[in-house]
Amino acid sequence: MGSDGRPVPDVAGSVLAAREHKDITLILIGDEPRIADELSKHDVAGLDINIRHAAQEISMTDKPSEVIKGKPESSIHVGIRMVRNGEADAFVTAGNTGAAMGIAMLRRVGLGRIPGVKRPALGAVFPIKTRPFLIDGGANADCRPEQLLQFGIMGSLYIERVAGIPNPRVGLMSNGSEEGKGNALIREAHELLKASDLNFVGNIEPKDFANGDVEVAVTDGFTGNIIIKASEAIASYIKDRLREEIDASKRATVGALFARNAFKAVADDANADVVGGVPLLGVNGVVVIAHGGSSERAIWQAIDKARLAVEHKIVDAIRDGLA
Amino acid sequence: MGSDGRPVPDVAGSVLAAREHKDITLILIGDEPRIADELSKHDVAGLDINIRHAAQEISMTDKPSEVIKGKPESSIHVGIRMVRNGEADAFVTAGNTGAAMGIAMLRRVGLGRIPGVKRPALGAVFPIKTRPFLIDGGANADCRPEQLLQFGIMGSLYIERVAGIPNPRVGLMSNGSEEGKGNALIREAHELLKASDLNFVGNIEPKDFANGDVEVAVTDGFTGNIIIKASEAIASYIKDRLREEIDASKRATVGALFARNAFKAVADDANADVVGGVPLLGVNGVVVIAHGGSSERAIWQAIDKARLAVEHKIVDAIRDGLA
């Protein structure tokens, strides 16, 4: 019950995930009658899908700080408590990101941090062909150098386990690839990363990231979020401008029709639905956060991300890695 | 003598600028024989173009900190000294950006700052249709809130004077448009900008910037430079992917041929050559810095930016505006 179109894509995506992996149990959390009604529209024969009622609802405009205390029976609270109590292995939501992060991070109401973790972080996969992974994608606007080192460690462990890439290359996002470039945070974090056991390749620029020159790009959550949003803005600008120019000419319209499959291929690999959701790494349990505008395919992929994180014991890996 | 292809585009661009505005005098600075040889390939009848010899050359790999002291007869030093001594009204270079900024900012060898200016900043125009203006584009990796306020004031004065837009809208680049979003720097700068006389519209995200919702976007130089580089990386990625998909299909190749003008129109308005160069605002004289890879068109436009800044007395405007 988290997405903007709830419960439609949430339920449909869950059915897709359950069909793909018949050995998993899915528990849909939220207003029971609405979920049951939506679920009745699907063929769920042979699938293990249950419903858990949640009496409160968090909206996208609710302030995270207020709902953490104020709505203890929201689907986010209920779901995260289930992970804490061992009733579930992972929690997936397309709801209010700030609320989900806040509730998950707080030990009192949620999961708290894995021992040793300074700050949990969002591990964002970019929807481009090289699928670069960036951490932190937006959980921490203000960071200290030691936190960036931990983001590198958590990101490296995640990519090694979940993507199966041994000893992934880790880069530090900067405004220039030369050592010494960057702001004070980057220069200090550079030293820490260099002295670590990570496969640290040094500073990288956005173009190195887009080219897939590293598997893990480390950044503070402010810069990471700005990079994601600037990339989306430029991609959307180019798409709109091309459409505008093509629509303005009959000749170009015919041409674009012939080149349709090429456009579709590029749009498809830039489709955020393929990525699904981003893991909140460093909390004491598996939490995957999907976009509010998630489609059923995005929900399905977000659930699959959670499944992989459980299967590869990412929480244990981070605990051991930081110890 | 600054561009990667020096002196070819530098000389050709200067000739174009001199032809467009016959009332300006252009002084080409660098190795005299090489410049004279290059200039002899052009028809300069009726144009006021002179050469000033500079005995040293700064390479792109020279460290700015070393050349400031170590190469006092470089073309950058000579040109900036001419502005200081009143022998020239403005200096334009496509050479080493760090060296140009360093030499211009230092009072001892260059221009120093306009009284009241804490840190000079680069005012970058984005090569997209809405031509959004961002300050600082990369001069200051670490900033304090008062510096961001000054970037807003300098940017607003520049756009008002040079682009002729009265009372330009000023936004603060952040990871969310709501007040309270951003890191500590952004939150403090927000308060200062809100309390100023600027036409401050609040926090903006990259998409608002791309849409042209403000005339001036304020950011620290690290974030500004990352936004520029991430935008370039994504635009280049999309272009390469489209070409790859089109080349892979005969049908799409034919289609793209028909739609050629549409592609060209989008590429043209995203061409950095149209922008030319970025002003270094806050130094005590007009300095415009162009990309190392500048074409003759880019050099021409950079010179035109310098001409406009002189004509609109931007140095006086900043001095008065900050007083």
* pLDDT tens digits, A47-82: 999 999 999 999 878 888 889 989 999 999 999 999
Q: Is A171's pLDDT higher than 80?
A: yes
CB-CB neighbours of A217 under 10 Å: 26
Phi and psi at B131, nearest 5°, equal 45, 55
List of residues 6+ apart from B289 with CB closer than 8 A = B92, B93, B94, B97, B100, B101, B122, B277, B278, B279, B280, B302
Query: Rounded CA gap, A121 and A151, in Å?
Result: 7
Q: Which residues of A37-69 are buried (b: 16+ CB within 10 A; e: fewer)?
A: ebbeebebeebebebbebebbbeeebeeeebbe
pLDDT tens-place string over residues B79-138: 999 999 999 999 999 999 999 999 999 999 999 999 999 999 999 988 787 888 999 999
> Helix crossing, B260-269 with A221-247: angle to 10°?
140
Q: Which residue has the higher pLDDT, A96 or A283?
A: A283
The letter for the amino acid at A145 is P
From A32's Cα to the closest Cα of chain B, the distance in A is: 33
Nearest-by-CA chain A residue for B226: A175
Is residue B96 within 8 A of residue B76, CB to CB? The reply is: yes
What is the three-class DSSP state of B56?
A: strand
Q: Which residues pair with B218 in a beta bridge?
A: B135, B172
Nearest-by-CA chain A residue for B129: A241
Taking residues A285-308, report their average pLDDT: 95
Mutate which: A229, A264, A271, vs B, most B CBs within 10 A: A229
Distances, alpha carbon A309 to alpha carbons A19, A41, A250, in Å: 19, 30, 50
In chain A, residues with a C-beta closer than 8 Å to the C-beta of B205 are: 229, 233
pLDDT confidence tier of residue A269, bands split at 50, 70 and 90: confident
pTM: 0.93
* Chain A (110-139) residues lying within 8 Å, Cβ to Cβ, of chain B: 128-129, 138
pLDDT confidence tier of residue A20, bands split at 50, 70 and 90: very high
Inspect the interface and report whether the beta carbons of B245 and A262 lie closer than 8 Å.
yes
CB-CB neighbours of B274 under 10 Å: 14
From B47's Cα to the closest Cα of chain A, the distance in A is: 39
Mutate which: A129, A147, A209, A238, vs B, most B CBs within 10 A: A238
Query: Rounded CA gap, B186 and B202, in Å?
Result: 11
Q: Is A258's pLDDT higher than 90?
A: no
The letter for the amino acid at A93 is T
> Can the peptide bond before residue B43 be classed as cis, meaning omega within 30 degrees of 0?
no
Is residue B7 within 8 A of residue B35, CB to CB? The reply is: yes
Query: Rounded CA gap, B214 and B206, in Å?
Result: 11
For residue A53, what are its two tokens? Answer: 């009622």
Q: In whole numbers, what is the pLDDT of chain B averaged over residues?
A: 93
Mutate which: B66, B134, B237, vs A, most A CBs within 10 A: B237
Query: Rounded CA gap, B304 and A174, in Å?
Result: 31
Considering A128-137, A226-235, B308-317, the range whose residues carry the highest mean pLDDT is B308-317
Query: Rounded CA gap, B150 and B279, in Å?
Result: 15
pLDDT confidence tier of residue A257, bands split at 50, 70 and 90: confident
* Chain B (231-270) residues lying within 8 Å, Cβ to Cβ, of chain A: 231-238, 241-242, 245-246, 248-249, 251-252, 254-263, 265-266, 269-270
* Chain A (155-214) residues lying within 8 Å, Cβ to Cβ, of chain B: 173, 175, 181-184, 186, 205-207, 209-210
Q: Is A177's pLDDT higher than 90?
A: no
